[in-house]
Amino acid sequence: KAGVTQTPRYLIKTRGQQVTLSCSPISGHRSVSWYQQTPGQGLQFLFEYFSETQRNKGNFPGRFSGRQFSNSRSEMNVSTLELGDSALYLCASSLGFSIQGEYEQYFGPGTRLTVT
Amino acid sequence: AQSVTQPDIHITVSEGASLELRCNYSYGATPYLFWYVQSPGQGLQLLLKYFSGDTLVQGIKGFEAEFKRSQSSFNLRKPSVHWSDAAEYFCAVKGGYQKVTFGIGTKLQVIP
């Protein structure tokens, strides 16, 4: 079974631009979560989608948004990029979503975003 | 609210030595607990998880972890470390219907 895939793997953008990252979950998984990982802050939860609906949201500004499609693939978008948005963006998929007690997440390799 | 603490940011061990990575959590009841490993430039790989039952959990790559309710801990152990174990290790906690919260991570260096 193929794992979680994320595209692109690396991205360089300029301040003020916008970016879209893509995540394809493991086949059969219906939940996708996004995390931002930086050396100083660790893994910070962005949002979680299940059945095309956002179920949970972290404490990020409205410049960060996401969506999920009917095939469970997900995209996240960051508008008006800032230098501080440089990070590794990780996507994780799971069968269910966090309202279910027992569930585990499987992570993709991440997209390394550099904002200059 | 739930939280997780990994008190050691960096740990260095010699190859063949035993390893214990510490993890303490805060949650009003018994949470779900996870350990993940991340190699440079890679995503996170699940090593093991605790949902209920036996408090000693076996994982992949020879790792195990023990849940101790009285100490609110879920420490990761390996009897003999290999050079390929050098990576960053994350403890994570999930209380009931909440999202997963990750610790800050512990970087493991293995010296020959």
Contacts of range B103-106, beta carbons closer than 8 Å, 24 or more positions apart: B103/A42, B103/B4, B103/B5, B103/B6, B103/B23, B104/A42, B104/B6, B104/B9, B105/A42, B105/B6, B105/B9, B105/B38, B106/B6, B106/B8, B106/B9, B106/B10, B106/B11, B106/B21, B106/B22
pLDDT at A89 over 70: yes
Cβ B90 vs Cβ B39: under 8 Å: no
Question: Cβ separation of B98 and A43 shorter than 8 Å?
Answer: no
Residue of B100, B101, B106, B107 to mutate when probing chain A, most A C-beta within 10 A: B100
pLDDT at A35 over 80: yes
Q: What is the pLDDT of residues A51-67, one digit of tens each?
A: 999 988 999 999 999 99
pLDDT at A101 over 80: no
pLDDT at B103 over 90: yes
What's the gap in Å between the CA of A12 and the closest CA on chain B?
16
Identify all chain B residues contacting A98, using CB atoms and an 8 Å cutoff.
94, 97-100
- Separation CA B16–CA B81 (nearest Å): 5
pLDDT at A96 over 70: yes
Count of beta carbons in the 10 Å neighbourhood of residue A51? 11
Q: What is the pLDDT of residues B44-71, one digit of tens each?
A: 999 999 988 889 999 999 999 999 999 9
- Separation CA A13–CA A26 (nearest Å): 28
